[in-house]
Chain A
Amino acid sequence: MKKIMMMMATILALCGVLFIGSKQLSAQAGATTQANTLNLYNWGDYIDPALLKKFEKQTGYHVQYETFDSNEAMFTKIKQGGTAYDLAIPSDYMIEKMKKAKLLLPIDQQKLSNFKYLDQHFLDQSFDRGNRYSIPYFWGTLGIIYNDQQVKASEVQHWDDLWAPKWQNDLMLVDSARDILGMTLISQGQSVNTTDTAILNQASRKLDRLSINVKAIVADEIKTYMIQNEAPLAVTWSGEAAEMIEQNQHLHYVVPSEGSNAWYDNMVIPKTAKHQKAAYAFINFMLAPENAAQNAEYVGYATPNKAAKALLPRKIRDDRQFYPPLSTVEKLEVYQDLGATKVEQYNDLFLKFKMYRQ
């Protein structure tokens, strides 16, 4: 009994010390929510920290940086309104959803002197016509990553190449219904936003035939596996691919020329924003070519900023893996919010595919 009491006392004392310690540390960091703060809500490791410091120095605003790991988590948190975020960076379909849920404030482009540097190709997308609510931050694609020790470049230029009997048990897929059904739809010459049940079922039957080539359907782990040469082929996003290539020089990324999905991460101002002025200052700061270029070099994703791209080292700028030729860019399609019933149909077909065994 005495022992137990002692143990409990020790644990309580430890908790007290940690609590006081963490309070003091956060007080030192000057975590205040005053008028000069910017509450930024972004994906993890998705901005060059040096830029945040530069922004604070230039404008005097203090940046409070918080991260999320999925669009859905971000949506829930902004909808509940616990923290008043001034700026968030969601993806395309989620912007459409947030717009429908009336969670966004319109953005006045007149107040953004650096808006002119953005590439016309990446503006006025279907999820936000006229960019009334969102400003592009990064963009990317869905594609095939392969290891040149086992796969020749000529063998994987198109989505249909993945169905070749040669790749039995060699392929890894991202665990995402829209992406995997989407690439199947493209391989059949259909749109990634198809809602026609007959066409979807046809795609699902074709996808089931891919099952024999599939080694695993996983998420972030693809990165580790590809770097360790666990699989020769995978379907993944360009941003992930960039990180893999950095760590394993045998890897290469292809965006099939018949088309693919293009995704955008855009800056938006949620309805909860309390420091709109700071938010505008930050958007404008990030649109400045030298800042956008520095950020693109740090994060490794493709920048939609034309002037910034020109500032990038030639090696990055001319990399067709991440800046595909215009002929391909024009065939890229953005996901639209298809509504609950269709999203479910996609997911049910994907679940059926996961269960399928030959």
Chain B
Amino acid sequence: MKKSKQFFMVPYFLWIALFVVAPLLLILYQSLTDGQGHFTIQNYLTYGSSSVYLKMSLNSLWYAFLITVITLLISYPAAYILSRLKHQQLWLLLIILPTWINLLLKAYAFIGLFSRAGAVNHFLMFIGIGPKQILFSDFSFLLVASYIEIPFMILPIYNAIVQLDPALPNASRDLGASPWQTFRLVTFPLTLSGVKAGVQAVFIPSLSLFMLTRLIGGNRVITLGTAIEEHFLTTMNWGMGSTIGVILIVMMFVIMILTNDRKKKRREVLDDEKATH
């Protein structure tokens, strides 16, 4: 029995080894070589000593942070209201639906809306504000990126809220807590796992967005993804491209660890409390 179980694990291990571990090792290896294939850490030194790359990393983190905050601010109330509506399945479907449409198509649709002759500017002219430069600005980039990421934030939060036992907030209200206190001290902490999952699902992809930086940001918004694309396709410097890739991967691991550890600690605290009571 045990042996046959192990046998069925083979495809899984093969998959992980070939498509997860091997590519990561290849990227790491590429990042440690120069154009002629000699071992060197020059790429990392270049990265660390270049103000351009450091500023770009800062940009990436900053934009990813803003996108995450914006989506979170919109998604939590949305998920909360959603969990109290009548036709929840229908509303959920409406939120998931846009993720079925290709990212590029959505980006081009926004170009049409935001351009000088687009619908938004027509509206602005109609109400007397006059046409504004919307495309190629931080504003449009953040708006479109947030729009695209929102479903990935709403879904985990919604799941966490639905799984919350309604007896707990009810008890809190019965015991005299105000609605705000109930939310702050009971509902929110108990749905934090959903928030963390959402933050991971949004922050990590946002770090390396690059199609949108060109199409919507007009290359006025530059992130590490742009640099990777350029090193692989234009300068053919795979070493440097891989180095930036490794740095992005490290950043992602840091985010994962940061968002996971606290959960564990909180559980330990809860267990401790249980033990003492």
Interface residues of A in 200-217 (CB under 8 A from B): 214-217
Q: How far is the CB of B51 from chain A (nearest CB, A)?
A: 9
Q: How far is the CB of B45 from chain A (nearest CB, A)?
A: 15
Residue-wise, chain A 319-355 has the 8 Å CB interface mask toward B (1 for contact) of: 0000000000000000000001001100110011011
Q: How far is the CB of A188 from chain B (nearest CB, A)?
A: 22
A161 at interface, CB cutoff 8 A:
no
Task: Knowing A228-B117, A355-B55 are in contact, say whether A217-B234 is a contact too (CB < 8 A).
Answer: no
Residue of B nearest to A346 (CB): B235
- Please determine whether B136 and A352 come into contact, CB atoms closer than 8 angstroms: no
Could you say which residues of chain A place their CB within 8 Å of the CB of B220? 214, 216-217, 354
Residue-wise, chain A 275-297 has the 8 Å CB interface mask toward B (1 for contact) of: 00000000000000000000000
Could you say which residues of chain B place their CB within 8 Å of the CB of A217? 218-220
Q: How large is the interface on A (under 10, 10 to 19, 20 to 34, 35 or more residues)?
A: 20 to 34
Interface residues of A (CB under 8 A from B): 70, 72, 169, 175, 177, 214-219, 221, 225, 228-230, 340, 343-344, 347-348, 351-352, 354-355
- Please determine whether B117 and A344 come into contact, CB atoms closer than 8 angstroms: no
CA distance A217 to B217 in the complex (A): 9
- Please determine whether B35 and A175 come into contact, CB atoms closer than 8 angstroms: no
CA distance A221 to B110 in the complex (A): 14
- Please determine whether A218 and B222 come into contact, CB atoms closer than 8 angstroms: no
User: A-B pairs with the 6 shortest C-beta distances?
Assistant: A216-B218, A217-B219, A216-B136, A347-B235, A344-B235, A230-B116
Could you say which residues of chain A place their CB within 8 Å of the CB of B219? 175, 216-218, 354
Q: How far is the CB of B222 from chain A (nearest CB, A)?
A: 5
Q: How far is the CB of A32 from chain B (nearest CB, A)?
A: 34
CA distance A343 to B236 in the complex (A): 9
Residue of B nearest to A211 (CB): B220
- Please determine whether B136 and A215 come into contact, CB atoms closer than 8 angstroms: yes
- Please determine whether A230 and B222 come into contact, CB atoms closer than 8 angstroms: no
Residue of A nearest to B51 (CB): A352
Task: Knowing A215-B218, A230-B115, A355-B52 are in contact, say whether A169-B133 is a contact too (CB < 8 A).
Answer: yes
- In the assembled complex, 22 residue pairs joining A and B whose CB atoms fall closer than 8 Å, in A order, are A70-B233, A72-B233, A175-B219, A215-B136, A216-B219, A216-B220, A228-B116, A229-B116, A229-B117, A230-B115, A230-B135, A340-B236, A343-B235, A347-B230, A347-B234, A347-B235, A351-B52, A351-B226, A351-B230, A352-B52, A354-B226, A355-B52
CA distance A229 to B115 in the complex (A): 10
CA distance A228 to B115 in the complex (A): 9
Could you say which residues of chain A place their CB within 8 Å of the CB of B215? 218, 221
CA distance A175 to B215 in the complex (A): 12
CA distance A229 to B133 in the complex (A): 13
Residue of B nearest to A230 (CB): B116
Main SS of chain B's interface residues?
loop
CA distance A228 to B108 in the complex (A): 14
Q: How far is the CB of A123 from chain B (nearest CB, A)?
A: 29
CA distance A215 to B217 in the complex (A): 10
Q: How far is the CB of B15 from chain A (nearest CB, A)?
A: 20
CA distance A216 to B115 in the complex (A): 12
Interface residues of B (CB under 8 A from A): 35, 52, 55-56, 59, 111, 115-117, 133, 135-136, 214-215, 218-220, 222, 226-227, 230, 233-237, 240
- Please determine whether B214 and A355 come into contact, CB atoms closer than 8 angstroms: no
Q: How far is the CB of B241 from chain A (nearest CB, A)?
A: 11
CA distance A218 to B212 in the complex (A): 11
CA distance A343 to B35 in the complex (A): 13
Could you say which residues of chain A place their CB within 8 Å of the CB of B222? 351, 354-355
CA distance A344 to B241 in the complex (A): 12
Q: How far is the CB of A177 from chain B (nearest CB, A)?
A: 7
Residue of B nearest to A177 (CB): B234
Could you say which residues of chain A place their CB within 8 Å of the CB of B116? 228-230
Q: How far is the CB of A205 from chain B (nearest CB, A)?
A: 14
Pick the most buried of B111, B235, B237: most chain A CB atoms within 10 A of its CB: B235
Could you say which residues of chain B place their CB within 8 Å of the CB of A225? 115
Q: How far is the CB of A246 from chain B (nearest CB, A)?
A: 19
CA distance A343 to B214 in the complex (A): 21
Q: How far is the CB of A281 from chain B (nearest CB, A)?
A: 35
- Please determine whether B237 and A340 come into contact, CB atoms closer than 8 angstroms: yes
Task: For A355, give its contact among B56, B135, B218, B235 (CB under 8 Å).
Answer: B56
**Given A351-B222, A355-B56, 6 additional A-B pairs, CB 8 A:** A72-B234, A217-B219, A219-B214, A221-B215, A340-B237, A354-B226
Q: How far is the CB of A16 from chain B (nearest CB, A)?
A: 25
CA distance A70 to B55 in the complex (A): 30
Could you say which residues of chain A place their CB within 8 Å of the CB of B236? 72, 340
- Please determine whether B233 and A344 come into contact, CB atoms closer than 8 angstroms: no
Q: How far is the CB of A167 from chain B (nearest CB, A)?
A: 14
Q: How far is the CB of B26 from chain A (nearest CB, A)?
A: 18
Pick the most buried of A340, A347, A354: most chain B CB atoms within 10 A of its CB: A354
Could you say which residues of chain A place their CB within 8 Å of the CB of B59? 355
Could you say which residues of chain B place their CB within 8 Å of the CB of A355? 52, 55-56, 59, 222
Residue of A nearest to B217 (CB): A216
Could you say which residues of chain B place their CB within 8 Å of the CB of A340? 35, 235-237
Residue of B nearest to A70 (CB): B233
Task: For B237, give its contact among A70, A175, A344 (CB under 8 Å).
Answer: A344
- Please determine whether B56 and A216 come into contact, CB atoms closer than 8 angstroms: no
- Please determine whether A351 and B214 come into contact, CB atoms closer than 8 angstroms: no
CA distance A221 to B211 in the complex (A): 13
Q: How far is the CB of B113 from chain A (nearest CB, A)?
A: 13
CA distance A175 to B136 in the complex (A): 14
Pick the most buried of A177, A228, A229: most chain B CB atoms within 10 A of its CB: A228
